[in-house]
Amino acid sequence: MDKNVENVIQPNKKYFTCDICGEIFYQKLLLEIHFQTHKKGKSYSCYVCNKGFSQKNNLNQHLLTHTNEKPFSCDVCHRGFSQKISLNRHLRTHTNEKPFSCDVCQKGFTQKGNLNQHLRTHTNEKPFSCNVCQRGFSQKSNLNQHLRTHTNEKPFSCDECHKGFSIKGHLYRHLRTHTNEKPFTCDVCLKGFTQERCLNQHLRIHTNEKNFLSDVYHESFSQKSHLNQHHRTHANEKLFSCDVCHKGFSLKSNFNRHVRTHSNEKPFSCDVCHRRFSDKSDLNRHLRTHTNEKPFSCDVCHRGFPRKSNLNQHLRTHTNEKPFSCDVCHKDFPDKSSFNQHLRTHTNEKPFSCDVCHKAFPDKSSLHRHLRTHTNEKPFSCDVCHKGFSEKSSLHRHLRTHTNEKPFSCDVCQKGFARKDKLNQHLRTHTNEKPFFCDVCHRSFSQKINLIRHLRTHTNEKPFSCDVCQRGFAQKGNLNVHFRTHTDDKPFSCDNLGKCFSRKCDLNQHYRMHIK
């Protein structure tokens, strides 16, 4: 008799041996049940799906899957199970009992099947193979998930937004975007995460751990995905291609964001104002406009910023760094957005158009400011006189009328100005520079507004009209003077005689009579 068999036989006890496989039983009934597993035939058949079973109790357990009957209940959480063995496995989640241990690394498991799957990580055994691409897998569940990449099957659907997923775990992670549940918390800064993987990646920020080293470029990274992304920047490899415009991307996240520019999909919504965004990072930045959070701070002047890009731009005001240079006029700029806006002054490109009047603008911010002329929206209000303004810069200029602040000073005559554009106009009185030319008569002007007024002498355009007599005027100032003929308003008075005039030029002529 085999020594292994002798070791398990209990002395002085009758036993029964299977003639086919040699397995030992101490009850004849158990041997007979076992013997059915060797028979090719399956005596017991399910009347619902006709599946065959060699043992009656296996059939009975199977029938519960059709009736959804769960006679075995957990005393702790009251969850129901169709089989007692399933209940026993579940109970270990409460007791944390792990009776199955790996002989190689001593890791414990609650189920024998999990141990068997784990052992393949040591043997590198992959018994489950894909029929399409022949890729091997250590677990059957992984193979089933992989097969859906070929069939594009997504059997797990979100009840909230009806988005489909090929893996049930991905659905659970997605559901947290609706519930905002973040079950994984950082012990250092208490930041919450929806996935354990994201928490582990975040923890490396605190430990400064960088386990992934590039053999080629000798740089280390805290995440393997960052290492792979870094390699693609050197290889110029672009794995992800857009089906619409065929633009290539090295990062899947950038590819996904780009795809939404074609579909105009905006899956991320603000809970405060319900504005929607195509990218989650844009939503996070937008939320700071409600919370006034400014997590990025300048080390020099300690000013806070809601975006890191804004901080980087601000730092250049301290270093006077201007890394973006125009190839046409060689003018330098501290940030890329200003540089791109400047380039459009050469190309005269105006990609942003108003839906109301179809007027085009070279940058998006100018379009937003213009839209307020249609809505008459004035979101910026003066705390002193409560006057409203459509632009924040206009409010800042207005505030100087209360403080009499003149922060812009002429280097030649030290005259101060409340606005920079007024200083620039003034400087031309010293340089006699007249950069604005009339295309009709070639007369030049130091200010653009003067050119615009002059052009009306050629076109005979009179955009300012009197509400009383409908007489037109080329300049608003002339309209204001004319309007006083209807109201008999005379705001200019002589300090000596008290005589009043409707026009300042008439008062000046009157003063000359005193001099004579």
* pLDDT one-digit tens code per residue, 376-421: 888 889 999 999 988 888 888 899 889 988 989 999 999 999 888 8
277's enclosing H/E stretch is strand 276-277
Nearest CA to 451 among 422, 475, 432, 471?
475
Radius of gyration of the chain (CA): 40
* pLDDT one-digit tens code per residue, 489-498: 888 888 888 8
Give the pTM.
0.34
Averaging pLDDT over each range in 60-69, 196-205, 440-449, which range is the top one? 440-449
Structure confidence at residue 18 (pLDDT): 77
Token pair belonging to 278? 């195509």
Structure confidence at residue 240 (pLDDT): 80
Q: Which phi and psi (to 5°) does residue 417 adopt?
A: -140, 145
How far apart are the two ends of the chain, measured CA to CA in Å?
145
User: Has residue 8 got a pLDDT over 70?
Assistant: no
Give the least confident one: 18-22, 188-192, 315-319, 505-509. 18-22
Q: What percent of the chain has pLDDT over 90?
A: 9
Q: Which phi and psi (to 5°) does residue 322 adopt?
A: -135, 85
User: Has residue 469 got a pLDDT over 90?
Assistant: yes
Query: Binning pLDDT at 50, 70 and 90, where does residue 2 land?
Result: very low
Structure confidence at residue 5 (pLDDT): 40
User: Has residue 335 got a pLDDT over 50?
Assistant: yes
CA dist 18 and 25 (Å) reads 8
CA dist 43 and 36 (Å) reads 9
Hey, CA dihedral for 211, 296, 255, 193, is it positive or negative?
Answer: positive
User: Has residue 292 got a pLDDT over 90?
Assistant: no
Structure confidence at residue 13 (pLDDT): 59
Separation in Å, CA 385 to CA 22, 397, 400: 100, 14, 12
* pLDDT one-digit tens code per residue, 217-255: 567 776 777 777 676 666 677 778 888 888 888 777 788
Structure confidence at residue 28 (pLDDT): 76
Where would I find the H helices in 353-490?
364-375, 392-403, 420-431, 448-459, 476-487
Single-letter residue type at 234: H
CA dist 442 and 447 (Å) reads 15
CA dist 288 and 293 (Å) reads 5
Beta bridge partners of 268: 277
Structure confidence at residue 20 (pLDDT): 67
